[in-house]
Amino acid sequence: MERTDTVKVSRLATGYHGRKGDIVVTQPFDAALYSGELTCLLGPNGAGKSTLLKTLSAFQPPVSGDIYINGRILSAYDDAELARTIGVVLTEKVNVSSMTVRQLVALGRSPYTGFWGALSHDDDAVVAEAMATVRIDALCDRMVSTLSDGERQKVMIAKALAQETPVIFLDEPTAFLDYPSKVDIMRLLHRVARRRDITIFLSTHDLELALQMADRLWLIDKTHGVVTGTPEDLSLDGSVARYFDRSGVVFDVDKGSFAIDWHPDSCVRLVGAGPRYTMVRKALLRNGYRCSSDVICDIVVEILPDSYLVNGRRCADIAGLLDELTTAIPVTE
């Protein structure tokens, strides 16, 4: 499938109009979003993610620069055209307590329905398909007020799909969800972008998930502005580390993920292999011990088939091993 740069920004600066002049949140940058791709916008609190999404959705004007959607400048779109071009899913809980799931998803058809908003058979089919895509068919007659946060988030995504726009923007769709639900939503959006060849752009704080699941990232912060690229290119060129390394957290480019920088001050010779080796090393690191199988240390931990040895004393599990460590008598070699 051919990739099209559906959304293009040129020397775009975002921000607000203050009494003393413009407050620039993001300095001018160029970037693009592509059809068939899921792009994630990542950055620390206050970096300007919501401001950028609101600007791209035409809820507020740019401080400077231009936004083009399907080759046409955004400011030339009227409200009706915008509603058929961009679907927007915000995080705020919608106040639709007296509505069923099906009725809420059907609101996505309002850019196409007449003055009275009556749905044609075709509209009904689009609503049913949107609910099926997001796998919420079973919820269709439930009142929206009775849904869990994750279920409601899926309903809002189905509403955006029913709107049949080539572009969908979502502000933190994975906020407040448990980890499996976050994965579920991201996987769903990734699949929908591919299958329907639409452009999906979302802001998130779920860095690890975005690194795994996004086709492309936009990284944003107040110091560096915006950089864009595949998660892999941005990992390799140091951008991910530059945007997110903090004291105590380091980006491990070999694993493509972040790790806590523990600064261990003691060492343990750890003898063994496999998943229990990995788990013991993890527990020891958290308790201030650097582990290696080939160093000479006062403390030796051995992983046996059914237990652990700490300087020759047997422990049944890792909790016992940690207790034993506090009283371990140094070995003499």
Nearer to ligand ATP, 16 or 179 (CB): 16
DSSP state of 333: -
Nearer to ligand ATP, 37 or 221 (CB): 221
Report which secondary-structure segment, H or E, holds 223. Answer: none
Residues binding ligand ATP (CB under 6 A): 16, 23, 25, 43, 45-51
Task: Report the SS3 class of residue 125.
Answer: helix
d(CA 310, CA 333): 15
Residue 309 Cβ vs ligand ATP, minimum distance, rounded to whole Å? 48
Nearer to ligand ATP, 194 or 222 (CB): 222
Q: Are 158 and 126 in contact (CB under 8 A)?
A: no
Residues 6+ apart with CB under 8 A from 219: 42, 43, 226, 227, 228, 234, 239, 240, 243
Residue 246 Cβ vs ligand ATP, minimum distance, rounded to whole Å? 15
Residue 16 Cβ vs ligand ATP, minimum distance, rounded to whole Å? 4
Nearer to ligand ATP, 133 or 204 (CB): 204
Nearer to ligand ATP, 13 or 130 (CB): 13
Residue 23 Cβ vs ligand ATP, minimum distance, rounded to whole Å? 5
Residue 172 Cβ vs ligand ATP, minimum distance, rounded to whole Å? 7
Residue 306 Cβ vs ligand ATP, minimum distance, rounded to whole Å? 48
Residue 233 Cβ vs ligand ATP, minimum distance, rounded to whole Å? 23
Residue type, 2: E
Q: 3-state SS string over 197-219? A: CCEEEEEECCHHHHHHHCCEEEE
Q: Are 142 and 131 in contact (CB under 8 A)?
A: no
**Helix%, strand%, coil% for the chain, nearest 5:** 35, 30, 35
Name the packing angle between helices 149-162 and 121-133 (round to 10°).
140
d(CA 234, CA 253): 10
Q: Are strands 308-310 and 300-303 parallel, antiparallel or unpaired?
A: antiparallel
d(CA 203, CA 193): 15
Nearer to ligand ATP, 92 or 265 (CB): 92
Nearer to ligand ATP, 243 or 289 (CB): 243
